[in-house]
Amino acid sequence: MARIVQKYGGTSVADIARIKAVAAKVARHVAAGDEMAVIVSAMAGTTNQLVDYCRQVSPVHDLREYDTVVAAGEQVTSGLLAMALQELGVPARSWMGWQIPVTTDAVHGNARILGIDSDELLERMANGEVPVVAGFQGVAAAQARAGRIATLGRGGSDTSAVALAAALKADRCDIYTDVDGVYTADPRIVRRARKLSRITYEEMLEMASLGAKVLQTRSVELAMKHRVRLQVLSSFEDLPGTLVVDEDEIVEQEVVSGVTYSRDEAKLTLVRVPDRPGIAAAIFGPLADAGINVDMIVQNVSEDGRSTDVTFTLSKAELPRAVQVLKGRDDLGFERAVPDENVVKVSVIGMGMRSHAGVAKRMFQSLADNNINIQVISTSEIKISVLIAEQYTELAVRALHTAYGLDAPIAG
Amino acid sequence: MARIVQKYGGTSVADIARIKAVAAKVARHVAAGDEMAVIVSAMAGTTNQLVDYCRQVSPVHDLREYDTVVAAGEQVTSGLLAMALQELGVPARSWMGWQIPVTTDAVHGNARILGIDSDELLERMANGEVPVVAGFQGVAAAQARAGRIATLGRGGSDTSAVALAAALKADRCDIYTDVDGVYTADPRIVRRARKLSRITYEEMLEMASLGAKVLQTRSVELAMKHRVRLQVLSSFEDLPGTLVVDEDEIVEQEVVSGVTYSRDEAKLTLVRVPDRPGIAAAIFGPLADAGINVDMIVQNVSEDGRSTDVTFTLSKAELPRAVQVLKGRDDLGFERAVPDENVVKVSVIGMGMRSHAGVAKRMFQSLADNNINIQVISTSEIKISVLIAEQYTELAVRALHTAYGLDAPIAG
């Protein structure tokens, strides 16, 4: 008997048959005596359709109206799943963000949860009722009257689920998705990738940030902060997934747990920037003011002592805007800006790095052995990322997966 | 300069291009200095899709969840239209039923509006903002916390519009739909049907009840009660529609304003019912208890003084349930129940009937001239309805249209 929050993603509720299958799965938990709360996404495809409507109406639209439109998808699935549970004899009711309420800040389109009023939900769960909560949405608390619907950004239902699990002090938060767990690498690229049975919050956070699309980054942050035991698993198979847990719950820590890649990277080099104090602030200040996130930064040593090349990376989507912001700044005095979209960021991640020497060396050696040139390097305590030319993505990921001993044994 | 509530039905907001066209129409009113509020239906087809989902999940579903699911359609259109207005430079915001709030009773699936809080809307309208209100929905006021979404029944956006117009004391309520007004008969059947420029509330109410599908019956009742000037018109043509107004606004009242028909009728005859006091109550009491609406009733004179045949009409959908209810009642003592779905109700409607003799006679004569047998008759002050075999529908409607001088002159 446990208190469990389950989240079902868009593919898990893609049609009525799947919604009924989800209801059956939840009903089995209820029959076993578990206290259940469920978070649902919109039916697969619905959110994209609604986002597309908004873009068609107006390329630059009021995000409060955008939130009102896109939140409708989760409203539909929560009502349908509540019905499906009732059909199986399980007491259930749907809950919209504004009904609970799930209060958020007023950053529409990408709001953060400020609080969840859990009293009534807990009382109903204790009486055997299953709350079916519309994910992805809350209500902006700023207005005294008539709060507006706010959404948490794409993938926000993961965050809804973790926040609800924290508020309900749930024993576990199960994230049902279309993959059956977290892998040592993308199985579409690395055939010998292995599913991890456990991974730490810190590693999961790096993986989510560095390109593994299993969980929304913010949901992992939140799980780490509130120590919510997360499980990632598939709603289509009855197999154990990957548990995301505290470090001390993992007995045998591998040096490297996974290799990730992100193609959503672009590189921008400013050639012959005057080499004077304050120049970095002068470059990155305006970019920050424009809301552009810069990731890796390299400043070359200048040959003549008077000028230097500054290279940094950012998301592909923000490259044109960054170029525009910098071209308008004659005071920076650089010769030219050279954009490059033909790059990928490949990272190795592992808690074990902290206590093992030679992890970086093995990465560089492995890439060198495959004649892959490293353009930029950045490291943290538990990851090493390199920027390389995009055409080497698969080669690099496979080579590193082998180099760190992550390959699954060959069957037979 | 006027204060106008406009309601746009599903076909008027069926896609993004049409939503933009609606925004342009509203913007023209705003530019002319009108204070505008808009009510929208769901995009054509959406509500049917959502209703179908509910039926697939469970044939007998929780109506509170049904309301949550189906109300999502109007939420989407209200957000999109608000965006489209903003895109044209018109200040606008979407309003859900729970945000205004539009409070309703707790009869989910077919709720009645109890009140509309209009203060904030009026204030914003005075400042030039256009409220775009999701039609068809409100919030059930019964619960102290976490009010549930309630819907007003199919066609409920008409009622939303009239109720809002009454609350805002609007000068006019324009109902934009896929027909361009109210006709003397269904133009698909009667080629020479004419569009009425004006019609009284009373006539419109009879027409809506008797099969003309232009307006939801309850919206007309509400308009009559609050003396809201209604206009029915097409959003696809820039033509004047039909005004629904007080009798004293109509100078020249025709004897008969229209001929309607309803195929949604069934007839049930109870053969050889014992002819004793209280038998009518014994039959119709259980039907009323089961929520079955009976329309016309005929009791034949008994031949032997001991038994009689009782015939009544009801909607086709309720026929099987009515048979079931009555078959369970052995105490009624009738010989057998004979159902008949092969019937149609044809009606003539007109305020002028009150002061003209011979209206009924002309109807019966016209049907007799066409060899159409009348099965049941019912009359009120301003309408006469007859039940006839369904195959005579077109013949009867055309004959009556001609008999009452409603045919438009032949062009050329």
- The ranges assigned to domains in chain A are 3-178, 268-334
Question: What's residue B143's pLDDT?
Answer: 57
Question: What's residue B182's pLDDT?
Answer: 92
pTM of the predicted model as reported, rounded to 2 decimal places: 0.85
Helix (H, G, I), strand (E, B) or coil at B262: strand
N- to C-terminal Cα separation, chain B = 40
- A41: which residues sit within 8 A by CB, 6+ positions away? A7, A8, A9, A10, A12, A13, A47, A73, A74, A77, A135, A136, A157
Q: What is the chain A residue with the closest CA to B46?
A: A76
Contact B73, B66 (CB under 8 A): no
pLDDT above 70: residue A146: no
For chain A positions 42-101, those within 8 Å of chain B (CB to CB) are 50, 53-54, 56-58, 61-62, 64-69, 71-73, 75-76, 78-80, 82-84, 86-87, 93-96, 98-100
ipTM, two decimals, is 0.83
What is the mean predicted confidence (pLDDT) over B322-326?
A: 91
Q: What is the mean pLDDT of chain B?
A: 92
pLDDT above 80: residue B291: yes
Say which amino acid occupies A173: C
Binary contact (B120, A145; C-beta < 8 A): yes
Question: What's residue B412's pLDDT?
Answer: 54
Nearest by CB to residue A120, choosing from B80, B82, B145, is B145
Binary contact (A57, B100; C-beta < 8 A): no
pLDDT above 80: residue A145: no
Q: Do domains A3-178 and A268-334 have the same CATH topology?
A: no
Q: Give yes or no for A120 touching B (CB within 8 A).
A: yes
Q: How confident is the model at residue B21 (pLDDT cuts 50, 70, 90)?
A: very high
Nearest by CB to residue B53, choosing from A78, A80, A94, is A80
**A75-84, A139-148, B210-219, B340-349 — which is least confidently predicted?**
A139-148
- Locate B29 and state its tokens: 């009113």
Binary contact (B61, A69; C-beta < 8 A): no
Contact A46, A107 (CB under 8 A): no
HSE-CB of A29 using CA atoms within 13 angstroms: 22
Nearest by CB to residue B68, choosing from A61, A94, A147, is A94
Query: Taking CB atoms and an 8 Å cutoff, what residues of chain B touch A129?
Result: none
- Locate B98 and state its tokens: 């729970």
**A34-43, A184-193, A244-253, B267-276 — which is least confidently predicted?**
A244-253
C-alpha to C-alpha distances, A395 to A346, A400, B105, B259, nearest whole angstrom: 11, 9, 65, 78
Strand order across the A265-274 sheet: A294-299, A307-315, A265-274, A336-340
Binary contact (B54, A80; C-beta < 8 A): yes
Q: What is the chain B residue with the closest CA to A72?
A: B72
Pairing of strands B230-234, B172-177: parallel
Question: What's residue B411's pLDDT?
Answer: 63
Binary contact (B65, A86; C-beta < 8 A): yes
Question: What's residue B144's pLDDT?
Answer: 43
Taking the C-alpha atoms of residue B167 and residue B163, their distance in angstroms, rounded to an integer, is 6
Q: How confident is the model at residue A166 (pLDDT cuts 50, 70, 90)?
A: very high
- Per DSSP, A264 falls in state -
Distance from CA of B181 to the nearest CA of A (A): 29
Binary contact (B80, A53; C-beta < 8 A): yes
What is the mean predicted confidence (pLDDT) over B74-88?
A: 98
For the segment A215-273, what is each residue's pLDDT rounded down to a tens digit?
Answer: 888 999 999 999 999 999 998 888 899 999 998 888 777 789 999 999 999 999 999 88
What is the mean predicted confidence (pLDDT) over A115-125?
A: 95
Question: What's residue B352's pLDDT?
Answer: 85
Question: What's residue B142's pLDDT?
Answer: 59
What is the mean predicted confidence (pLDDT) over A77-91?
A: 98
**A126-130, A260-264, B193-197, B303-307 — which is least confidently predicted?**
B303-307
- B188: which residues sit within 8 A by CB, 6+ positions away? none
Query: Taking CB atoms and an 8 Å cutoff, what residues of chain A touch B72?
Result: 72-73, 75-76
- Contacts across the A-B interface (CB distance below 8 Å): 122
Q: Give yes or no for B108 touching A (CB within 8 A).
A: no
Question: What's residue A235's pLDDT?
Answer: 86
C-alpha to C-alpha distances, B120 to A139, B95, B114, B351, nearest whole angstrom: 19, 11, 18, 40
What is the mean predicted confidence (pLDDT) over B335-364?
A: 91
Q: What is the mean pLDDT of chain A?
A: 92
For the segment B209-261, what is each residue's pLDDT rounded down to a tens digit?
Answer: 777 778 888 999 999 999 999 999 998 888 899 999 998 888 777 789 999 99
Query: Taking CB atoms and an 8 Å cutoff, what residues of chain B touch A16?
Result: 53, 56-57
Q: Give yes or no for A155 touching B (CB within 8 A).
A: no
pLDDT above 90: residue A290: no
Taking the C-alpha atoms of residue A118 and residue A126, their distance in angstroms, rounded to an integer, is 12
Distance from CA of B146 to the nearest CA of A (A): 5
CA B222, chain centre distance (Å): 12
Distance from CA of B188 to the nearest CA of A (A): 34
Taking the C-alpha atoms of residue B388 and residue B386, their distance in angstroms, rounded to an integer, is 6
Distance from CA of B63 to the nearest CA of A (A): 9
pLDDT above 90: residue A212: no
For the segment B212-223, what is each residue's pLDDT rounded down to a tens digit?
Answer: 778 888 999 999
Q: How confident is the model at residue A144 (pLDDT cuts 50, 70, 90)?
A: very low
pLDDT above 50: residue A46: yes
- Per DSSP, B179 falls in state S
Taking the C-alpha atoms of residue A19 and residue A14, their distance in angstroms, rounded to an integer, is 7
pLDDT, greater one: A299 or A79: A79
Q: Give yes or no for B294 touching A (CB within 8 A).
A: no
pLDDT above 60: residue A143: no
CATH superfamily of B3-178: Acetylglutamate kinase-like (3.40.1160.10)
Binary contact (B83, A57; C-beta < 8 A): yes
Q: What is the chain B residue with the closest CA to A15?
A: B53
Nearest by CB to residue A76, choosing from B50, B79, B82, is B50
Cβ burial, residue A127 (10 Å; 0-12/13-18/19+): exposed
Cis check: omega of the bond before B131, within 30 degrees of 0: no
CATH code of A268-334, in short, is 3.30.70.260
For the segment B138-183, what is each residue's pLDDT rounded down to a tens digit?
Answer: 999 755 456 899 999 888 999 999 999 999 999 999 999 888 899 9
pLDDT, greater one: B375 or B1: B375
Angle at B245 between CA B240 and CA B250, to 5 degrees: 90
Q: Give yes or no for B339 touching A (CB within 8 A).
A: no
Q: What is the chain B residue with the closest CA to A47?
A: B76
pLDDT above 80: residue A303: no
Q: Give yes or no for A121 touching B (CB within 8 A).
A: no
pLDDT, greater one: A357 or B302: A357
For chain B positions 123-152, those within 8 Å of chain A (CB to CB) are 145-149
- Locate B24 and state its tokens: 């342009």
